[in-house]
Amino acid sequence: MAARQLLRAAPGRRGYSGAGAAEFLHRSIVPTMHYQKSLPRLPVPKLEDTIKRYLNAQKPLLNDDQFRKTEELAHDFEKGIGRELHEQLVAQDNQNKHTSYITGPWFDMYLKAREPVVLNFNAFMSFNPDPKSEYNDQLIRATNMTVSAIRFMKTFRAGYLEPEVFHLNPEKSDTEIFKKIIRFVPSSISWFGAYMVNAYPLDMSQYFRLFNSTRLPKLDKDELYTDEKAKHLLVLRNGNFYVFDVLDRDGNMLEPSEIQAHLKYILSDNSPAPAFPLGYLTSENRDTWALLRKNLLENGNEEALQKVDSAMFCLSLDDFAIKDFVHLSHTMLHGDAANRWYDKSFNLIITKDGTAGINFEHSWGDGVAVLRFQNEVFKDSTKTPAISPQSQPASVDSSRAVQKLDFKLNDALKAGITKAKQKFDATVESLSLNMIQFQEGGKELLKQKKVSPDAVAQLAFQMAFLRQYDQTVATYESCSTAAFKHGRTETIRPASVYTKKCSEAFVKELSKHSTEELQNLIVECSKYHGRLTKEAAMGQGFDRHLFSLRYLALSKGLALPDFYQDQAYARINHNIISTSTLVSSAVQLGGFGPVVSDGFGVGYQVQDDWIGCNVSSYPARNGKEFLQCIYKSLEDIFNVLKGKKIAVDSLWLQEEQNQSKR
């Protein structure tokens, strides 16, 4: 521990320039990418297992006739064209051992999507406030977080960042002794050494795209661009673009007091907001944006755009304070497009009162990499801040160091920005964000009752939708497959015959079941959900496999097999309830837009003694009511688990009686 302390600088300490210890977060004993070579490969599931899992997921969504038809199509596919495609996929996978079978198709899926990235793909996570309230000042926090972000980048690039490892037995694997031994095990077999002590290193191939990266709009398919040589930061304020170097010629970080001086200069610049804010273009349809970008380049903006694209990241400084959690969600999920560049790998957003969050583009990577970055930045900027409220900005000429970017706009570009703004404003206007905190229990009580906290949260969503709409619909839960080389995500399908049966018992047939029977139904849901989660994490879901087979058929110019033309296949991929959870002491709140216009986007976290939900929706759905139904469902589940009898939902009974009279 003492050694690690020495590697950091005390707040306000000078001597940052030069490759001193303060340039890095820490120096890991084990090199960052030590395990990467020997990571296991993502398995291609057996076709018969995939079909079986697919049909299990379809069962609660279809009536008997629909299911028979889907079952027949699935078995025909399994015996015929599906078998051929599967064999081709396996052969292709065997020829590409350096990667995973999902990598190419998944990047293509994201980069070929033409919808705007904001609200459709970009997600957000907001930071908890700094525990020391005086540090939650916009300039102080922006400086400290920027310095910590640069430290993270430098630590990663130097190979000093602690490898990302999932420890099942930390007493054995998360120790100095183990690390000293494993560092001498060749990279080609190091994973096996970790596995022996129940530790699972995770894929870190996405991390390099965190910095100096941008998604560039191109017709039909976008491109990911990274320029690791660039030394500058992009800062947006009031719709104006500023850049300044944060690294010197030798790649050493500027003094924090200099970064503070440059940010102070930007915050005090009273240039008016541009009449045609360029940021709106990144909220456009990708083909529309690609054509406008071509126009921008042809109109003499190449150098300015190059600065934007290659910047380390985008720091967005907003000129207002956060009112409440709903306002916070809107700010971090979309904000004012004039002050965002949604195509950057991430925007670090800091508001007037020092509230901070990250909005990240999704094609380059997943939440695992972003969350690690966020955890490290939060820890570093709060435990060993680079500047304090007493720190004075350096006496430097910021007017020379900071460059304000000017863009030359013709009439077509002005019209394009105006149209983008109208579309963006209309979409944002139609988006609702609502949230609840259920305070009557959380992870601790659920573990005591031997049920999975995640399974209970997912069961509550199923129960709520049934209570609100009298339906069971396609539901998506994201699960990371980062335990494998170039793994991305797999889908857990939380809507099952078990959740349907349990939800109906609670919502429609309460009087027919004893408390003990209801408890057993919850336990059944938990066991099945646990199995689905384990399968997904081990690369044994069905979604990515079926997606890859479809992708293969289309890439070979084959007619789309009947299996994929089944309405039931379209329906299960129209995810009305899309969910994702990430729990971290650095994160206050997270969320994303609905993935379909008649859906809910559910960001949730199960803490020790409370459960939080952040729900997004468009006018086709009532998010507020859905959350009330989730609350009621959680209340009922917790009461049953505590052995209490629950009251019959009078509203449901009334509705049932009304239905029978009609």
Please identify which of the residues 232, 262, 334, 362 carries the catalytic annotation.
Answer: 362
Instruction: Please indicate whether residue 650 or residue 39 has the higher confidence score (pLDDT).
Output: 39
Q: Specify the pLDDT at position 21.
A: 54
pLDDT tens digits for 458-508? Answer: 999 999 999 999 999 999 999 999 999 999 999 999 999 999 999 999 999
Three-class SS of residue 527?
helix
Q: Specify the pLDDT at position 649.
A: 62
Q: How far is Cα 325 from Cα 129, in angstroms, rounded to an integer?
A: 13
Q: How far is Cα 189 from Cα 34, in angstroms, rounded to an integer?
A: 10
**Bridge-based pairing state of the strands 346-350 and 314-317:** parallel
| pLDDT at 287 exceeding the cut of 60 | yes
Tokens of 159: 């190979």
pLDDT tens digits for 362-421? Answer: 999 998 999 999 999 999 999 999 999 999 999 999 999 999 999 999 999 999 999 999
Overall average pLDDT of the 598-602 stretch? 98
Domains of the chain from N-terminus onward: 120-160+210-430 (3.30.559.70), 165-201 (1.20.1280.180), 432-539+561-646 (3.30.559.10)
Q: How far is Cα 345 from Cα 210, in angstroms, rounded to an integer?
A: 6
Q: How far is Cα 326 from Cα 324, in angstroms, rounded to an integer?
A: 6
pLDDT tens digits for 556-568? Answer: 999 999 999 999 9
Q: What is the DSSP string of 353-419?
A: T--EEEEE-SSS--HHHHHHHHHHHHHHHHHS-S--TTPPPP---HHHH-EEE-----HHHHHHHHH
Q: Specify the pLDDT at position 646.
A: 86
E strand map for 318-416: 346-350, 356-360, 403-405
Q: Specify the pLDDT at position 511.
A: 92
pLDDT tens digits for 368-382? Answer: 999 999 999 999 999
pLDDT tens digits for 167-216? Answer: 999 999 999 999 999 999 999 999 999 999 999 999 999 999 999 999 99
Look at residues 30, 10, 31, 33 and name the one whose alpha carbon lies nearest to residue 22: 10
Q: How far is Cα 442 from Cα 612, in angstroms, rounded to an integer?
A: 10
Q: What is the pTM of this model?
A: 0.94
| pLDDT at 539 exceeding the cut of 80 | yes
Q: How far is Cα 465 from Cα 600, in angstroms, rounded to an integer?
A: 10
Share of the chain above pLDDT 70, in %: 95
Q: Specify the pLDDT at position 43.
A: 98
297: DSSP letter = I
pLDDT tens digits for 218-260? Answer: 999 999 999 999 999 999 999 999 999 999 999 999 999 999 9
Grade residue 651 by pLDDT with cuts at 50, 70 and 90: low
167 carries an active-site annotation? no
**Tokens 């435990």 belong to which residue?**
383
Q: How far is Cα 294 from Cα 276, in angstroms, rounded to an integer?
A: 17
**Tokens 């970064």 belong to which residue?**
259
Phi, psi of 199 (to 5 degrees): -115, 140
Q: What is the mean pLDDT of the chain?
A: 94
Overall average pLDDT of the 431-439 stretch? 97
